[in-house]
Amino acid sequence: MTHSEPDHQRGLAGGARPASPPSTVLVTGGAGFIGSHTCVELLDHGYELIAVDNYSNSTPQVFSRVERIADRFVGAVYELDIRDRHALSAVFDRHSVDAVVHFAAHKAVGESTRMPVEYYDTNVGGTTALLRTMREHGVHQLVFSSSSSVYGDAGHGSLSEDTPARPTSPYAASKWLCERILDDVCRRLPEFTVLCLRYFNPVGAHPSGLLGEAPVGVPENLMPYVAQVAIGLRERLHVFGDDYATVDGTGIRDYIHVMDTAEAHRVALDHLADAPGMHVYNLGVGRGRSVLEVVEAFGEVSGSPIPYQIVGRRPGDVAELVADATAAARDWGWQATRDLIDMCRDAWRFQQLNPHGYAGSAGGRNAMSGPG
């Protein structure tokens, strides 16, 4: 396990509104796409942060950018695998953690069909290792990253949290299994409180252009692929099917800005103590957009049309996945505020400023060995 702590002599100003009450949050997968934006949001609101990540799908340089944007330091960063309970335990020994936001997981649906064991091991095994460690250290508050993919091909129209799950890939099944485990834990151990957030399609980037989605290799998801076409890294987008029963025949999804997604985690933390047990919330805008609508919006913000070609359907895709996003509005008074143009504009800015993702970005944190 590698550990790094801020050099407080560098004297970055606090400058943030204190959380009420002040609390320390452990973020797993904090260097990832959604984790990094959430770190900024939590730092901006006065939370003390401890982050862990094994960088299997990210880079430690992300934390320098997080700190630069927030003008505050992450309390400590540990390079570890969440399945390593010994290393995880050392982090909990060292820091007084009040709540955990658990992002760390493998997330590629296609890859999960080729590597199901690895997906169950990391996503389910990582979650149970975290739960055991939390329990051993008397930490019982968790915000968990779930996914709209648990709905699978469960329904049409907007999907409420009560829609029965029908996961269709090992990835989606791993998230659904985690939800079942967390629900059971909360029923049997009443000291636990868990908020499961089912994200629909988080996209976009931090408006600074310093943080964004930086997939390794060929992007599997629509928005980063379109961004790479716009900048000339790829010739054209392949649109997977135009024969769905949708407005223009292409797939419809509920895209939500990653900044709205990050904000929802901060709001969820504020509401963790509202009611014991496990509670599930969709995180979406509540409005569906077709592939061609995304293509058009991206062309508008980037100033030139996105070349595309219609190809066959992608196996496993469904016509439409749109959130019923009313529960978070009802219980938390929170809803997403950024629109598709904001999502495309911020994704485009990140792509322009970081044409090859985080590769080659300079500056890391000071690395020290061991939990100390």
Which positions touch ligand NAD (CB under 6 A)?
29, 31-35, 53-58, 81-83, 103-107, 122, 126, 145, 147, 199, 201-202
Exactly one of 119, 171, 199, 281 is catalytic; name it.
171
Answer with the entry of ligand NAD, ligand WQD, none that 35 interacts with (C-beta below 5 to 8 A by kind).
Answer: ligand NAD
Q: Are 231 and 351 in contact (CB under 8 A)?
A: yes
Q: Note if 171 is an active site residue.
A: yes
- Number of Cβ within 10 Å of residue 221's Cβ equals 16
Question: C-alpha angle with apex 234: 232 to 239, nearest 5 degrees?
Answer: 120
Calculate the CA 59 to chain-centre distance: 15
Q: Are 75 and 50 in contact (CB under 8 A)?
A: yes
Contacting range for ligand WQD; rule: CB under 6 A; set: 64-72, 153-161, 231-239, 279-287: 231-239
Calculate the CA 281 to chain-centre distance: 14
Residue 83 CB, shortest distance to ligand WQD, in Å, is 20
Q: Are 37 and 29 in contact (CB under 8 A)?
A: no
Q: Which residue in the set 4, 201, 261, 302 belongs to the binding site for ligand WQD (CB under 6 A)?
A: 201
Answer with the entry of ligand NAD, ligand WQD, none that 240 interacts with (C-beta below 5 to 8 A by kind).
Answer: ligand WQD
Sorted by sequence, the CB contacts under 8 Å of residue 355 that are 6+ apart come out as 231, 233
Q: In the numeric block, which tokens belong to residue 128? A: 């149970």
Facing residues of 240 across strands? 311
Compute the distance between CA of residue 144 and CA of residue 128 in angstroms, rounded to an integer: 12
Q: What is the largest CA-CA distance in the chain?
A: 60
Q: Are 241 and 249 in contact (CB under 8 A)?
A: yes
State the residue number with the nearest CB to ligand NAD.
32
Which residue, 132 or 235, has its beta carbon nearer to ligand NAD?
A: 132
Contacting range for ligand WQD; rule: CB under 6 A; set: 13-21, 49-57, 234-242, 359-367: 234-242
Contacting range for ligand WQD; rule: CB under 6 A; set: 52-60, 66-74, 220-228, 346-354: 220-228
Phi, psi (degrees; rounded to nearest 5) at 132: -60, -45
Answer with the entry of ligand NAD, ligand WQD, none that 222 interacts with (C-beta below 5 to 8 A by kind).
Answer: ligand WQD
Residue 22 CB, shortest distance to ligand NAD, in Å, is 26
Residue 252 CB, shortest distance to ligand NAD, in Å, is 16
Binding site for ligand WQD (CB under 6 A): 107, 109, 147, 149, 201, 220-222, 225, 237-240, 251, 253, 291, 314, 317, 321
Active site residues: 171
